[in-house]
Structure 1
Amino acid sequence: MTRFEPHRFSVAPMMDWTDRHCRSLHRVLSRRALLYTEMVTSGAVVHGDREKLLGFDPGQHPVALQLGGSDPAELALAARIAEDWGYDEVNLNVGCPSDRVQSGRFGACLMREPDLVAECMAAIKAAVKIPATVKCRIGVDDQDPEESLFALVDRCAAAGVESFVVHARKAWLQGLSPKENRDIPPLDYPLVYRLKRERPNLTIVINGGVPGVDAALEHLANGVDGVMLGRAAYHEAGLLGEVDRRVFGEAVEDVDSFAAVERYRPYLARELAAGTPLAAMSRHMLGLFHGLPGARAWRRILTVEGVKAGAGLEVVDRALDAVRLALAAREERTAPAA
């Protein structure tokens, strides 16, 4: 049986996607995966609506808060607040390439300021007892990744950081959009493998372009401590149902998409009763039946009917019926003639 460290498999922080409702869905698919919030700025945590920004269902553990910022004192305070709210880890974003993030002097542009990142991490480490981690790129713009990645990691390690999530691409801060920065700069997985080989005492998690569980297992076989999935885990959420068995080595059955919906139903019911619109939750369910007959009908019903005023669990049931009907039709077509 393999190890059970949460970092062995995680779902990436994704703006507008990995909110509290999304994380509760992902948790019913995998009990073991480490889940991340969307990035929240340290200023918002300190000065904003904490219930809205930080509140989460206790069933989501283990869950990490990703912070954006570059002021050590403010980050330390935000990290302490996160710990008080029950988060299991606090992570600093040193990888987001958006213009808005750059203008605030945080995200990927901090790859150019490893000493400042180390100062920020030292302040966070001193403020909390939970793990404090870094998510970074291998470099930005014209940096030499072999120099920029190792410089950032080594300075942060000297400040006491033991765990790093490395998106194995550069970020181009000018000329590419955030979306293009997720696809166009070439991936350099071997550099991340080398980082782990040469810094064996550190926990190194690889991220970027990982399409599914098979690829995650290949990365683990190459020596890294963990794998973080982003868009694949969102758009094809059903794949998370294999993670506990295949990645963590648990003697459990996979969670199929029908079972996931049933497990998610109590959460849906509670949130609907509290006034949360169905669409705020059902939008995260669109990828559950990816690749199966009826997937298009599932998405259409949730998208069209789920946004209507008063939409409730009956919409989810109609969408499930459409999938079952499509699956039955396929079985009928492929059944051998009597």
Structure 2
Amino acid sequence: MMRAAALSEFGPPDVLKEASLDLPHATGGQVRVRVRAAGVMPFDVRVRGGWTPPFIKREFPMVLGNEFAGVVDEVGEDVTGFAAGDEVLGYTVLGAYAEYLTVPADQIVRKPAAMPWEVAAGFPGNGQGAHMALSTVGVHDGDTVLINAAAGGFGTFSTQLALAWGASRVIGTASERNHDHLRALGAVPVTYGDGLVDRVRELAPDGVDAALDAAGPEALRASVELVKDRDRVVTMVAMEEAEKLGLRDVAGARSAARLAELVALYEQGKVTVHIREAYPLARAADAHRDLETGHGRGKAVLVMD
């Protein structure tokens, strides 16, 4: 048996409770990972509340979590690239809020020895999300990039990645208490809310080249007003508004190759995951409450204590 944070119904954070579940076993093409840390993402929060895309079965108990880091402890048939004892990070759709999970071997990469477990757990989701979003809008040398909700897990990673890819300036929206955090990342902070368009134009009189939104419809509309080419504006959250505005979707999918590229940038000192708080597995509901405030700085993770 293993410990997990699981749902027996959809609802508020309190429905996420610690449970004892059967231990999974690796089948052909899979590895079993003893999880050391798991990232907590807005995707998980939405599923807990009852949103289930077509690729998720509405079955209980349901273990959330789609990014993780841990140690391979069982290898299925036909797996040649990994062995028991390998330290890895990877992605899944569900199942990471648990002491063990099974995952296809092509969804993990090796963890650098010096990378902390909590940091490793935040790369597969927010890191790859940032990579896909910035790849969709394009980042060119000298660009000015606007990132809405820049202090959160996705925004913090996106800020670093845009600068690593050659943006000359990142303007990040955040509450004033998170402005120093953005400055430390190399971004120019700006307060969100009424008057955002004018404040950004003051900072970037020559215009904004591309924009990412992780804040919502209001910020997305401001981004469209600021960026000349609508193909260089995407959102991670305001999908209905994006459709109304005729904006493109984020292109691409998570992959081991994409994740390996991000790990290489980490080893070069260009990107990392900034940890907001590491919660023990038994406090998964508190981690969800934290995300739902919408004002956190960096990434929340669960650790298997």
TM-score of the superposed pair, with normalisation by structure 1: 0.26
Structure with max Cα Rg: 1
